[in-house]
């Protein structure tokens, strides 16, 4: 959600900013802009729409000169998408240019104060308040002005700020919104995500809340709010730049679907040594696990759907009660958390605003936090007691695929790890479960060899107005994700329901030709789901069944059947989700949708 990039060095800044912003398009945006310092003034160019509009307006940055600048892609929160509301925003005197990710919650009061003091506003955004606040508080020292601004604003922010009085440096700060510092040779960067600067440097700093960075071309210095310089650990990005490029695929989403076998291996293999699960360096002891009273799983979107699977798996294997909560609800429900409760927090980016806020709420109640994230050094990872990383690599498409799959894999590992410590598995059951986990990557690869079958089914149904997904237990949990994949990239109305709930209202929506995707992979509930299939068929539905290669009866009731390899029942969600990802992708492709950048959506939701 929104994207920031900043540069200072010996090269022309504008082309570098535009290129960096192009790597952040996946985050979701509706306008873009850049500000570049040239000689004694700041020049700004911005435009509503895709980045290509801005690139054309500036001849790919060639018409704007200067060696220091900041850029931004905006996802509208305050004010409609427009040139005026696009970032960067300029102070009335033109001395300051500001880009901002986040939400300024007290901007109305601040705006009223500034208007009373003669400041004029030209946009509807909360960010313009920041530009004018810098002007208001500036007394010749940019860092003093920054400190006064961040002490005055409430909310979340990552800020990049140019000041025309400082021709050889610019300043940035973060609070509850991602911002990294890139360390180059004679050039330095800021960015919302490492993908924006990876072609220039692999060495980065992760900023913590309220840390300020001053960037010059020959170095960077980081300060706290007391203006004390602080040292930071340097991280080196170890994945290849090609991981953030399409590599011949038409869309990142298909590339990332195809990368799932590798991502699963990278996530699973390092955690299984000599036939036992080893969970990095987590501090959760056997005694701690035995004392767990209850587990909360807190997440948003697809990560929440991982949590729903996790509830079934952990309760079944460990016999510990699990409650799954949407992060945005958890933080406001005054959760009842006791001393021996564990909170598992799931986030791909590690910066999801609602999830981070929920984590802090849980910590305030004394909970122990175990996070599952993909980004090393992210805010959620740093705020957790323990963290397990999913080694999915960069995920560019807004609709998650391999991040979801690797999060599932980590949940399985946690469940089996705890179950073994609790004595809930025999040595044979434990060995079998590990063997089944290790087999998942090859089974996913096997499913991917049958993409044409899903492409054919998509050709049958891409014009549907509504599609329903049904399933029971783990199949219901996966249907939530299958429905989301379809709706977010194809814009088809889609809903997932527990199959047993059909008669409690949902079946009234079934009419002739309605597509129902019925998931029936588990053995125990297979016959019950088949009965539900018969119910919707009797009311005119067309049914696409998804089941394992050991079930033969689905062909008797469904119009079309998709088979997945058999596996341990707790692990079937990792296989079931793959054909649903492919189906959603091909439907969206046939509809001509912008698959990697679906309308109104953002990859990293860093505002509430």
**DSSP-derived pairing of the beta strands 542-548 and 560-564:** parallel
165 phi/psi in degrees, rounded to 5: -80, -10
My answer on whether omega of the bond before 291 falls inside 30° of 0, hence cis, is no
Q: Which residues contact 112 (CB under 8 A, 6 or more apart)?
A: none
Q: Which of 2, 163, 300, 318 is catalytic?
A: 2
Closest CA to 205 of 230, 239, 186: 230
Distance CA 351, CA 541 (A): 41
Q: Which of 217, 443, 563, 603 is catalytic?
A: 603
| Contact call for residues 114 and 136 (beta carbons, < 8 A) | yes
**DSSP-derived pairing of the beta strands 41-48 and 3-8:** unpaired
**Can 603 be counted among the known catalytic residues?**
yes
Distances (CA, A) of 67 to 168, 197, 282: 9, 16, 45
Cα three-residue angle 284-382-485, rounded to 5 degrees? 90
Beta bridge partners of residue 561, listed in sequence order:
545
**Can 221 be counted among the known catalytic residues?**
no
In eight-state DSSP terms, residue 499 is G
HSE (side-chain half, CA atoms, 13 Å) at 550: 10
Distance CA 356, CA 363 (A): 11
Cα three-residue angle 539-542-547, rounded to 5 degrees? 115
CA 575 to chain centre: 21
Q: Which residues contact 456 (CB under 8 A, 6 or more apart)?
A: none
Distance CA 255, CA 518 (A): 26
- Helix residue ranges, H only, 58-199: 107-116, 127-137, 142-152
Neighbours of 218 (CB within 10 A): 12
Q: Tell me the three state secondary structure of residue 585.
A: helix
Distances (CA, A) of 44 to 190, 529, 558: 18, 59, 59
- Helix residue ranges, H only, 63-178: 107-116, 127-137, 142-152
Q: Which two tokens stand for residue 13?
A: 């800044």
Q: Which residues contact 269 (CB under 8 A, 6 or more apart)?
A: 438
Distance CA 455, CA 19 (A): 33
* Tokens 């990095």 sit on residue: 280
Catalytic site residues? 2, 603
């Amino acid at each position: 959600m929104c994207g920031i990039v900043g540069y200072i060095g010996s090269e022309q800044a504008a082309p570098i900013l535009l290129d960096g912003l192009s790597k952040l398009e996946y985050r979701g945006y509706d306008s873009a802009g850049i500000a570049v310092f040239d000689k004694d003034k700041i020049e700004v160019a911005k435009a509503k729409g895709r980045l290509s509009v801005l690139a054309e307006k500036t001849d790919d940055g060639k018409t704007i000169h200067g060696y220091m600048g900041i850029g931004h892609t905006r996802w509208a929160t305050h004010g409609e998408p427009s040139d005026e509301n696009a970032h960067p925003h300029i102070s009335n005197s033109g001395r300051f240019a500001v880009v901002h990710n986040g939400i300024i919650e007290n901007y109305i009061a601040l705006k009223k104060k500034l208007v009373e003091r003669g400041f004029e506003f030209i946009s509807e955004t909360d960010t313009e308040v920041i530009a004018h606040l810098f002007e208001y508080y500036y007394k010749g020292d940019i860092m003093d002005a920054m400190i006064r601004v961040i002490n005055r604003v409430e909310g979340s922010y990552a800020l990049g700020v140019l000041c025309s009085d400082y021709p050889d440096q610019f300043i940035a700060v973060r609070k509850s919104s991602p911002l990294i510092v890139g360390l180059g040779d004679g050039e330095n960067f800021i960015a919302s995500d490492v993908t924006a600067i990876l072609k220039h440097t692999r060495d980065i700093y992760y900023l913590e809340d309220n840390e300020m960075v001053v960037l010059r071309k020959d170095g960077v210095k980081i300060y706290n709010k007391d203006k004390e310089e602080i040292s930071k650990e340097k991280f080196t990005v170890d994945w290849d730049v090609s991981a953030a490029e399409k590599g011949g695929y038409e869309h990142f989403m298909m590339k990332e679907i195809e990368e799932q076998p590798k991502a699963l291996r990278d996530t699973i293999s390092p955690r299984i040594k000599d036939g036992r699960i080893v969970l990095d360096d987590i501090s959760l002891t056997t005694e701690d696990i035995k004392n767990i009273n209850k587990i909360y799983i807190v997440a948003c979107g697809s990560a929440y759907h991982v949590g729903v699977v996790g509830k079934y798996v952990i309760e079944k294997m460990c016999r510990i009660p699990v409650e799954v909560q949407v992060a945005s609800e958890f933080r406001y429900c005054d959760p009842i958390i006791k001393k021996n409760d564990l909170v598992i927090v799931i986030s791909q980016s590690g910066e999801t605003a609602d999830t981070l806020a929920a984590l802090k709420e849980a910590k305030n109640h004394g909970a122990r936090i175990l996070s599952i994230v993909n980004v090393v050094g992210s805010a959620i990872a740093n705020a957790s007691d323990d963290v397990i990383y999913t080694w999915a690599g960069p995920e560019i498409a807004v609709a998650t695929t391999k991040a979801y799959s690797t999060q599932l894999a980590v949940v399985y590992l946690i469940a089996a790890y705890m179950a073994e410590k609790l004595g809930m598995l025999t040595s044979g059951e434990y060995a079998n479960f590990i063997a089944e986990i290790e087999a998942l990557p090859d089974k996913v690869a096997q499913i991917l060899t049958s993409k044409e079958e899903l492409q054919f089914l998509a050709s049958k149904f891409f014009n549907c107005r509504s599609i329903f997904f049904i399933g029971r237990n783990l199949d219901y949990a996966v249907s939530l994700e299958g429905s989301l994949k379809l709706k977010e990239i194809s814009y088809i109305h889609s809903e997932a329901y527990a199959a047993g709930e059909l008669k409690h209202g949902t079946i009234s929506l079934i009419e002739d030709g309605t597509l129902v995707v019925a998931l029936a992979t588990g053995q125990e509930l297979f016959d019950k789901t088949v009965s539900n299939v018969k119910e919707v068929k009797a009311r005119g539905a067309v049914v696409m069944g998804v089941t394992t290669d050991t079930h033969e009866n689905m062909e008797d009731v469904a119009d079309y059947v998709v088979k997945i390899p058999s596996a341990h029942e707790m692990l079937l969600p990792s296989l079931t989700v793959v054909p649903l990802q492919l189906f959603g992708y091909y439907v969206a492709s046939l509809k001509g949708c912008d698959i990697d950048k679906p309308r109104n959506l953002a990859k990293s939701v860093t505002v509430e």
